């Protein structure tokens, strides 16, 4: 990292160069903020590039249309993954390339291979400690994401499983008889691709997400995934076990034993695949945020910490009351809120953010019809 960067005091530092980090970086540009930096631990879009090769976005991409609606997977006004890549359901690698193109187009000041170790409030600024030195900033936006922080401690023996976030490609998995633990999007995705390859799959979930009556894809399977469960390969080769939370996983010399909480015992010759979600990166800055009852960071109306002014949260971990902002088309609506709050703190008018209001994004407050809302 350049010495000049370490000596400089920034108005804002964004931690994370994924969809949230790049998207809020563009919003800072539109707010008239120039003195900022984006720190990415690996490369821009690294989390998406790490997806299994077969995995695609469950939210469809479609070019911006005449009534002003954004492509569901867009992170900046005037951009569209569908228009750029001509793909309706991008792969992770394709989307990573899209993020890089957006970052380059808006000339975002990004430093890659910048691993943030700690953030320390010091007076009216933050000391952002990285492997290459400490950077000072008046504001910090934590946008480091979830994917590289999988949940691995759900039950005894869960570490014997292989989390789906660590699989480069389902085509590379040896074996013909698989157990998948977790029946939400990642679990159905894994089961679908294994079944397509002629594998037998037993899919376990503590609930029954494939039969949920909710319209919110944060708690129910997307239409994209539901359609897959009706494909012939899935119906023939995937056995569903709803309301079957796992008690333990153990290993003998030749096989793995999976036991449900109601005492049923199952065996498989290969490590069970764990699709149990993600802890998220927000735990790394947990000391800078108060916590909600559900463990997520408590935020004020500007997505700012309630106990340490000046640090903001951006991305899938954002929660307000019963609203879950875990999809791009949901959490991107908070970009302008964060950018405006920082611009106001810096005494900037942020006039360039008015366009966000025209596109149906939040700017002044959080007004929403509730958790079943399909637009937020």
What tens digit of pLDDT does each residue of 135-194 get?
A: 999 999 999 999 999 988 889 999 999 999 999 999 999 999 999 999 999 999 999 999
**What is the average pLDDT across 247-273?**
96
Quickly state the pLDDT bin for 68 (edges 50, 70, 90): low
Sequence-ordered list of residues with C-beta below 8 angstroms from that of 45, at least 6 positions apart, any chain = 17, 18, 22, 95, 96, 97, 98, 99, 100
What confidence score (pLDDT) does residue 3 get?
67
Average pLDDT, the chain: 91
Q: What residue numbers bound the domain in which 284 lies?
A: 3-148+278-358
Q: Which residues face 304 on adjacent strands?
A: 312
Could you tell me if 131 and 164 lie in one domain?
Answer: no
Does a structural domain hold residue 232?
A: yes
To 5 degrees, how large is the angle CA 361–CA 363–CA 368?
60
Residues of the chain above pLDDT 90, percent? 80
Is the predicted pLDDT of residue 2 greater than 90, yes or no?
A: no
Q: What is the pLDDT of residues 278-307, one digit of tens each?
A: 999 999 999 999 999 999 999 999 999 999
What confidence score (pLDDT) does residue 359 get?
64
Does a structural domain hold residue 370?
A: no
Does a structural domain hold residue 350?
A: yes
Is the predicted pLDDT of residue 66 greater than 60, yes or no?
A: no
**Alpha-carbon distance 50 to 75, whole Å?**
19
Q: Rg of the Cα trace of the chain?
A: 21
Could you tell me if 31 and 138 lie in one domain?
Answer: yes
What confidence score (pLDDT) does residue 361 get?
66
What confidence score (pLDDT) does residue 376 get?
32
What confidence score (pLDDT) does residue 374 get?
36
**Alpha-carbon distance 163 to 167, whole Å?**
7
Could you tell me if 250 and 294 lie in one domain?
Answer: no
Residues of the chain above pLDDT 70, percent? 93
**What is the average pLDDT across 18-25?**
98
Does a structural domain hold residue 375?
A: no
Could you tell me if 144 and 182 lie in one domain?
Answer: no
Sequence-ordered list of residues with C-beta below 8 angstroms from that of 333, at least 6 positions apart, any chain = 325, 360, 361, 362, 376
Q: Are 100 and 114 in contact (CB under 8 A)?
A: no
**Alpha-carbon distance 331 to 285, whole Å?**
19
Q: Which residues face 118 on adjacent strands?
A: 129
Could you tell me if 141 and 283 lie in one domain?
Answer: yes
Is the predicted pLDDT of residue 236 greater than 70, yes or no?
A: yes
What confidence score (pLDDT) does residue 372 get?
39
Does a structural domain hold residue 364?
A: no
């Amino acid at each position: 990292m350049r010495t000049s960067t370490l000596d400089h005091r920034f108005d804002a530092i964004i931690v994370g160069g994924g969809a949230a980090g790049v998207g809020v970086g563009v919003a800072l540009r539109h707010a008239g903020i120039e003195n900022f930096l984006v720190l990415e631990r690996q490369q821009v879009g690294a989390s998406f590039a790490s997806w299994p090769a077969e995995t695609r976005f469950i939210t469809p991409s479609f070019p911006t249309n005449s009534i002003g609606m954004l492509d569901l997977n867009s992170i900046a006004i005037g951009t569209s993954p569908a228009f750029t890549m001509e793909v309706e359901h991008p792969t992770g690698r394709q989307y990573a390339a899209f993020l890089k193109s957006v970052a380059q187009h808006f000339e975002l000041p990004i430093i890659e291979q910048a691993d943030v170790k700690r953030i320390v409030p010091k007076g009216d600024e933050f000391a952002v400690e990285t492997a290459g030195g400490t950077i000072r900033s008046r504001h910090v936006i934590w946008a480091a994401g979830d994917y590289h922080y999988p949940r691995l401690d759900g039950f005894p023996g869960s570490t014997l499983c292989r989390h789906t976030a660590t699989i480069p490609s389902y085509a590379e998995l040896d074996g013909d008889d698989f157990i998948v633990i977790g029946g939400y999007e990642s679990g159905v995705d894994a089961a679908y691709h294994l079944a397509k390859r002629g594998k037998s799959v037993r899919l376990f979930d503590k609930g029954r997400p494939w039969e949920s009556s909710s319209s919110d894809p944060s708690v129910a399977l997307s239409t994209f995934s539901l359609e897959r469960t009706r494909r012939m390969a899935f119906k023939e080769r995937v056995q569903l076990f709803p309301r079957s939370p796992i008690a333990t996983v153990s290993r003998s010399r030749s096989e793995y034993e999976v036991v449900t909480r109601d005492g049923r015992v199952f065996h498989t010759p290969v490590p069970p695949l764990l699709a149990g979600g993600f802890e998220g990166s927000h735990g790394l800055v947990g000391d800078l945020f108060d916590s909600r009852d559900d463990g997520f960071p408590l935020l004020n109306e500007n997505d700012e910490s309630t106990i340490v002014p000046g640090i903001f949260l951006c991305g899938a971990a954002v929660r307000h009351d019963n609203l879950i902002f875990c999809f791009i088309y949901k959490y991107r609506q908070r970009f302008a809120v964060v950018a405006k709050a920082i611009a106001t703190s810096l005494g900037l008018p942020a006039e360039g953010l008015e366009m966000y209001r025209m596109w149906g994004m939040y700017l002044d407050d959080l007004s929403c019809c509730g958790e079943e809302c399909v637009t937020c």
